[in-house]
Amino acid sequence: MNKKIVLSVNDIQKSFPGTKALKDVSIELFSGEAHAVVGENGAGKSTLMNIISGVYQADSGSILLNDQEIMLKNPSDAQKAGIGIVHQELALCPHLTVAENVFIGRLPKKNGVIDKKKLQNKTQEILAPFGASIHPGDAVAELSVAKQQIVEIAKVLALECKVIIFDEPTSSLNESEAQRLMQLISTIKKQGIGIFYISHKLSEIFHMCDRITVMRNGNVIETRNVDEINADYIVTKMVGKELDNLYPQKGEHIEKEREIFEARNYTCLPKFKNVSFSVKKGEIVGLCGLVGAGRTEVTRAICGLDKKVSGEVFLEGKAVHIKNHKNSLDHGICYLSEDRKLDGLFVEMNLEENMIAPELERVSKRGLVNHKIARMQLQEYKEKLGIKYSFPEQKMSSLSGGNQQKIMIAKLLVLNPKLIIMDEPTRGIDVGAKSEIHGMLRRLCDAGIGIVVISSEMPEIVGICDRVVIMHEGEVVGELEGENVTQENIIARLTESGKLREAKNG
Ligand SMILES: Nc1ncnc2c1ncn2[C@@H]1O[C@H](COP(=O)(O)OP(=O)(O)OP(=O)(O)O)[C@@H](O)[C@H]1O
Ligand SMILES: [Mg+2]
pLDDT tens digit string along 409-451? Answer: 888 888 889 999 999 888 878 887 788 888 888 988 998 899 9
Torsion sign over Cα 155, 158, 159, 165: positive
**Cα pseudo-dihedral 376, 379, 383, 384, rounded to 10:** 50
Helix (H, G, I), strand (E, B) or coil at 397: helix
Q: Give the ligand at the shortest distance from the Cα of 396.
A: 1
Q: How far is the CA of 383 from the centre of ligand 2 (A)?
A: 21
Long-range contacts of 24-28 (CB under 8 A, 24+ apart): 24/61, 24/219, 25/61, 25/215, 25/218, 25/219, 25/220, 26/220, 27/213, 27/220, 27/223, 28/223
Q: Give the ligand at the shortest distance from the Cα of 400.
A: 1
**CA-to-CA distance for 461 and 438, rounded, in angstroms?**
11
Residue nearest to atom 10 of ligand 1 (CA): 398
Angle (deg, nearest 10), helices 351-363 and 401-413: 30
- pLDDT value of position 287: 95
Which residue type does 499 have?
A: K
Assess whether the C-beta atom of 401 lies below 6 angstroms from ligand 1: yes
DSSP label at residue 488? H
442 torsion bin: left (phi>0), alpha (psi -120 to 50), beta (else): alpha
Distances (CA, A) of 54 to 147, 198, 213, 228: 26, 17, 21, 33
Q: Which atom of ligand 1 is nearest to the CA of 40?
A: 25
**CA-to-CA distance for 185 and 159, rounded, in angstroms?**
15
Q: Which atom of ligand 1 is nearest to the CA of 200?
A: 25
**Cβ-contact 275, 311 below 8 angstroms:** yes
**CA-to-CA distance for 138 and 350, rounded, in angstroms?**
33
Report the 10 Å Cβ neighbour count for 155: 20
**Cβ-contact 62, 73 below 8 angstroms:** no
Q: Which atom of ligand 1 is nearest to the CA of 215?
A: 21
**CA-to-CA distance for 478 and 40, rounded, in angstroms?**
36
Assess whether the C-beta atom of 294 lies below 6 angstroms from ligand 1: no
- Please give the distance of CA 387 from its chain centroid, rounded to a whole number: 17
Assess whether the C-beta atom of 429 lies below 6 angstroms from ligand 1: no
Residue nearest to atom 22 of ligand 1 (CA): 46
**CATH 3.40.50.300 residue ranges in the chain?**
5-239, 245-332+417-506
Assess whether the C-beta atom of 42 lies below 6 angstroms from ligand 1: yes
Paired with 224 in beta bridges are 212
**CA-to-CA distance for 325 and 329, rounded, in angstroms?**
6
294 torsion bin: left (phi>0), alpha (psi -120 to 50), beta (else): left
- pLDDT value of position 364: 46
**Cα pseudo-dihedral 224, 230, 236, 239, rounded to 10:** 70
**Cα pseudo-dihedral 216, 222, 225, 227, rounded to 10:** -60
Helix (H, G, I), strand (E, B) or coil at 33: coil
Give the CATH class of 245-332+417-506. alpha beta
Q: Is 290 exposed, middle or buried (0-12, 13-18, 19+ CB in 10 A)?
A: middle
Q: How far is the CA of 16 from the centre of ligand 1 (A)?
A: 9
**CA-to-CA distance for 451 and 287, rounded, in angstroms?**
11
Q: Which atom of ligand 1 is nearest to the CA of 47?
A: 18
* Residue 416 φ then ψ, to 5°: 50, 60
**CA-to-CA distance for 477 and 213, rounded, in angstroms?**
43
* Residue 76 φ then ψ, to 5°: -75, -30
**CA-to-CA distance for 42 and 301, rounded, in angstroms?**
34
- pLDDT value of position 419: 96
- Which residue ranges in the chain fall short of pLDDT 70? 1-2, 132, 242-246, 340-345, 358-370, 499-506
**Cβ-contact 212, 205 below 8 angstroms:** yes
* Domain spanning 5-239, CATH architecture: 3-Layer(aba) Sandwich (3.40)
Assess whether the C-beta atom of 21 lies below 6 angstroms from ligand 1: yes
Residue nearest to atom 6 of ligand 1 (CA): 398
Q: Which atom of ligand 1 is nearest to the CA of 48?
A: 18
**CA-to-CA distance for 271 and 428, rounded, in angstroms?**
27
Q: Residues 6 or more apart from 176 whose CB is under 8 A from it?
A: none
